[in-house]
Amino acid sequence: MEVVFGYPGGAVLSIYDALYDDDRIKHVLTRHEQGAVHAADGYARATGKPGVVIATSGPGATNLVTGIANAYMDSVPLVAITGQVACNMIGKDSFQEADITGITQPITKYSYLVKDVNHLARIVREAFHIASTGRPGPVVIDLPKDVTAARAEFRYPPEIDLPGYQYMYNGITAKLNCAVEAIKRAKKPVIYAGGGVIASGAHEELLQFAERIQAPVTTTLMGKGAFPDTHPLSLGMLGMHGTCYANYAVSECDLLIGLGVRFDDRVTGRVDTFAPNAEIIHVDIDPAEVGKNVNIDIPLVGDVRSILVDLLREIEPQRHDQWLDTVYRWRRDYPLSYCTKKDTIKPQYVVEEIYKVTNGEAFITTEVGQHQMWAAQYYHCKYPRRFVSSGGLGTMGFGFPAALGVQIAYPDAVVFDIAGDGSIQMNIQELATAVQYKLPVNIAILNNHYLGMVRQWQEMFFNKRYSHSNMAGNPDFVKLAQAYGAEGLRVERPEDVRPALEEAINSPKPFVLDFVVDEEENVYPMVPPGGSLNKMLGGSK
């Protein structure tokens, strides 16, 4: 543990007192516990190491719940250390008491309530092991106030002994052989890669595998960066706001190879029409995910990287020229596109310019909404762990504190939080954190004065009845940034977008860019809720 994010309070003062003299651990004081847990999450996604967050008992601990659930849904390794009232006061509705282990049980891999300081070293060792192995996820360590004040001889166990905690690393040989045969007979294969590829560190093996079997690759939002978006075999993202050609390819393929994916509803659309002609191979380290949402023909339970290594050992190069010709024709005929206006900034254009000015080398975090989908569509990631976004839970307010965690991990990197004017206000107080720690995070607000995705759905499915989605009371984001000691700039013309981005990147301070964009621009393509992937609104001829 090198970095911890947190917010002190009465029940954790003994912990903070110990941190006062410890120069081995960098503590980052956020301005809200939710900001702390999202920052720890961003740090974990960018580095692959467990993020660590500390909060006090009661409201401090419950303020972590959204961030813990967010990490759980996206399989992010996280250790949350929470304060608790003294052991003899538990269960008595004591001041600032909350049953955080009970509250978080459904959204953690494990929750500890430590009642004996002699067990603490072992529990900490176990918590980090559980968080970072198998399918990664959050672990809670709840520490009563008297336990943190007690003393014990420090004995950090060199080995872990958890008989009930098991996970399969390599797939069953018989199933591997079935997968090999299915790949050999396929004429129209598609690889569908998710966050499990990144968690397993399997991006190089995925590249080799795709080129070996000559299969196009589509990724989930969580899998963005697992395969280079700039590679000829890349189809970009699939699903509700995926590319037309990715969705068409999945709908027409005869073999779908799912690697570290959940087959969630935003990807599959109507399940009975998802990949209707395909034999499906599913590789995942969590057996609970295999067959949960779609019927699987060949399940391979195990670590993605390990299984890809085994498959590469068995498979000779394949050729699918005719299939690739079809896929490339779809890519030519149905590209991502948008209509430009001379005096109006289009949000897609801002994302494209961020990509160009950073040469695709930046770390990108996002909030949740239209801007998130435009970022996924138009920022072409070359590397894993460079695109950090809330997928499963869809947490507004995630992106900015997550960007702080990324910047802490990589102080010299260019970091952009692509935000909406709604989402950014969820945790905008963390501007104070960015200024205090001199974190030059760039915030690109695509400001359409609406809760954009809510407005889009109201337009499409509720007869344009824009009920409480207008953000007419937005603050002046430039003045707000300056009030915190950051820099800010409002941009209203397309020709000013690039210079503003360059100014922000070259500034040593946190920088808020308020891009005033087309208010009623929609995200296309779009698969309507419950619809089929090959029947998209917009984006096709």
Helix axes 347-358, 497-506, angle to 10 degrees: 50
Residue 247: in which H helix or E strand, if any? Answer: helix 244-252
Residue spans of alpha helices (H) in 97-224: 100-104, 120-132, 145-149, 173-185, 195-200, 203-213
User: What CA–CA distances, in Å, run from 362 to 74, 77, 204, 496, 540?
Assistant: 21, 23, 20, 20, 30
As a dihedral over the C-alpha atoms of residue 67, residue 69, residue 72, residue 78, rounded to 10 degrees, the angle is: 30
* Tokens at 411, concatenated: 């102080």
> Distance between CA 281 and CA 276 in Å, rounded?
14
- Contacts with 42 (C-beta within 8 Å, 6 or more apart), sequence order: 51, 365, 388, 401, 402, 403, 404, 405, 406
- Cβ–Cβ under 8 Å, residues 267 and 275: no
Phi, psi for 85 (deg, rounded to 5): -65, 165
Q: 334 vs 3, 130, 339, 349, 538, CA distance in Å?
A: 45, 44, 14, 18, 10
With tokens 């929750």, the residue in question is 111
Cβ–Cβ under 8 Å, residues 391 and 373: no
Q: Distance (Å, rounded) from C-alpha 436 to C-alpha 453?
A: 33
Calpha distance 231→233 (Å, rounded): 5
Residue among 467, 199, 223 at smallest CA distance from 210: 223
Which residues are annotated as catalytic? 33, 95-96, 145, 453
Residue 369 CB-half CA count within 13 A: 30
